[in-house]
Amino acid sequence: MSRVLDHAGVDTRRGRRRAVIDADWLRHRYSVELHTIPEIAVEVGVTMTTINRHLEAAGIPRRPRGSASRSTAIRVDPRAGDSALLRRILVGQDATQRAERFLIVAGRDTMTAAAVELGVTLSILANQMKRIGEDAGGPLITRAVRGQPLALTELGVEVQRELTRAFAVSAAADPGRPTEGSQ
């Protein structure tokens, strides 16, 4: 019956209409522009399952799941400006949070004091400082030893100066804008 009705031009489908997605457009959007499957699904007005089916039909290999495939993982925070150093630091998921925490650590005598102030464990904070150091190109702090406060390395002083400038310019431009992690 459905074939007879279809042959007669009678629309019998209920629900969503069938999505027609150009394979070249999908390949460019997904593989070149690195949009995620959920982003493309919203743009086209279909489900993620439909996008997955079209990717498979077009022979487009799917990226692994996780943050590396997310758009936030490849975008540089606009506060980095033209600074090559900040463009390495302020990219990826939670980059702004790491930068803000580095500035707090830089103003304390110990990482333990900074961790208590931030309400995070010392190991989390140490890992974040290690990551921001790797992004910057070297260690940023020398850990505190008995009786001596932590100290910034030469690179750490440069990162502190650049971040302070970038965040101050951002706050002056939009003082009502909440910073990441300040909820």
- Asked if 67 and 80 sit in the same domain, the reply is no
Domain membership of residue 182 (yes or no) is no
Residue 25 has pLDDT above 90, yes or no: yes
- Please say which residue of 71, 95, 126 terminates a domain: 71
- Asked if 86 and 143 sit in the same domain, the reply is yes
pLDDT for position 124 = 92
Residue 182 has pLDDT above 50, yes or no: no
- Please say which residue of 71, 94, 110 terminates a domain: 71
- Asked if 80 and 169 sit in the same domain, the reply is yes
- Asked if 150 and 85 sit in the same domain, the reply is yes
3-state secondary structure the chain: CHHHHHHCCCCCCCCCCCCCCCHHHHHHHHHHCCCCHHHHHHHHCCCHHHHHHHHHHCCCCCCCCCHHHCHHHCCECHHHCCCHHHHHHCECCCHHHHHHHHHHHHCCCCHHHHHHHHCCCHHHHHHHHHHHHHHHCCCCEECCECCECCEECHHHHHHHHHHHHHHHHHHHHCCCCCCCCCC
Q: Which tens digit of pLDDT belongs to each residue from 42-99? A: 888 889 899 999 999 999 888 877 655 555 566 788 888 888 999 889 887 788 899 9
**Total tally of structural domains belonging to the chain:** 2
- Asked if 112 and 166 sit in the same domain, the reply is yes
Domain of 30? 2-71
AA letter at 68: A
Q: Which tens digit of pLDDT belongs to each residue from 85-108? A: 998 898 877 888 999 999 999 999
Mean pLDDT, range 1-6, rounded to an integer: 76
